[in-house]
Amino acid sequence: MSFLDILLIIVSSAGLFHGIVFALYLCFFKKKKALANYVLGLILVFMAFRIGKSVMLNFGDDLEPIFIFAGLAFLLVIGPLLRWYVLAMTRPNFKLKNSYYLELVPFLVVFIMSFFISKNWFDTNNKQAIILFGSVLIFIYLHLAFYIFSSGRTLLKVKKMFKDVVQTKSQKAIFDWLHAVIIGFIIIWITYFFNIIEETVPYIIGPIVYSIAIYFLSYKAFQLKVTDIDGDVFKLNDKTALFNQISKLVINEKLYLEADVSLSSVSKLIGKTTQTTSEVINQYAKRNFNDFINYYRIQEAKKLLLDTNSKHFTISSIAFDTGFSSLSSFNSAFKKFEGTTPSAYRKSLS
């Protein structure tokens, strides 16, 4: 075995080992005992078996068919686990329904089949065996592709639901994390698929790509602290619902354009005290009431400054049209949010 082969084994096995260690941490040493962490741990374990098979097949001689088929079968369980993980990370109080376990039937069928396949099937150039193997292989990779697509679609649906809602730091972290996970799976899938189709990609590239992906995702997981959170961060509590109500009034109905809008007037409209309204805006918008209102006024002013049909409008008229009571307050707010004056902003566009 050449030095290059030894180096490739070390690199490709490093991610496999790291994945197993990460899985053990999630399942046995992590203080937060969450279903999402257990599911992620299982994904890492089954991926390790799958990658281990690839390493043995690339460097080992005369690998038994049972190991080849069993390794491929693990992809049929990784797909459903990926979907369950995305659901657990985006749905409050997520539980595995009995019907979900039916998704594991293809895995069980192929895994059991692997015990009845012998070397003779392939040594004799049996056409039926080759057709069967090819059919199962195509099904497995299409099956995984379907679940990657399904998981991505689920993520997009949740992101769309929270598009018009001010997201918490934890919610943003989950969106960023799941996006990275799905991209990682897509890259790994493409690597293996191209190897199967034309063998233009060396087989060992799969395990190497996995190693790179698992190290990156591990770093990302701890950076975003996603192992400490799950779908419960998407629960709509009373304050979230109240802020959505405030946002609908201020943003959707453009209450910010009214010059006399105040903390008191908004509080009366939603039937809450000024203290409660102020606290909710500070918590979710990360701004005080005045900055919250002025931010949307400035966005409206920018649209007018960009509009060629509004070129004849003076800066003062735009200020009053967007709810400001004076030119000075408009200039101050514009500079605060945009870092420049309205006049300079308009000149930069011409």
Does residue 6 register a pLDDT over 80? no
The token duo for 215 is: 């190290």
Q: Which of 227, 234, 225 is nearest to 93 (CA)?
A: 234
Query: Which pLDDT score, from 0 to 100, does residue 154 have?
Result: 95
The one-letter amino acid code at 258 reads E
The mean of the pLDDT values for the chain is 85
Whether pLDDT at 124 is above 60: no
* All structural domains of the chain with their residue ranges: 3-234, 238-349
Q: Given a cut of 70, is residue 282 above it in pLDDT?
A: yes
Closest CA to 136 of 188, 183, 196: 196
Q: What are phi and psi of 213, to 5 degrees?
A: -65, -45
The set of residues, in sequence order, having a beta carbon less than 8 Å from that of 106 and lying 6+ positions away, is 76, 139, 143
* Residues 221-252: tens digit of each pLDDT: 999 999 999 998 887 667 878 888 898 888 88
Q: Tens digits of per-residue pLDDT, 139-181? A: 999 999 999 999 999 999 999 888 766 677 888 999 999 999 9
The encoded tokens of residue 258 equal 């009214």
238-349 CATH fold: Arc Repressor Mutant, subunit A (1.10.10)
User: Class of 3-234 per CATH?
Assistant: mainly alpha
What are the phi and psi torsion angles at 157 (to 5°)?
-65, -45
Ordered DSSP codes for 187-205: HHHHHHHHHHHT--S-TTH
Task: Give 81: exposed, middle or buried? Use CB within 10 Å, 0-12, 13-18, 19+.
Answer: buried
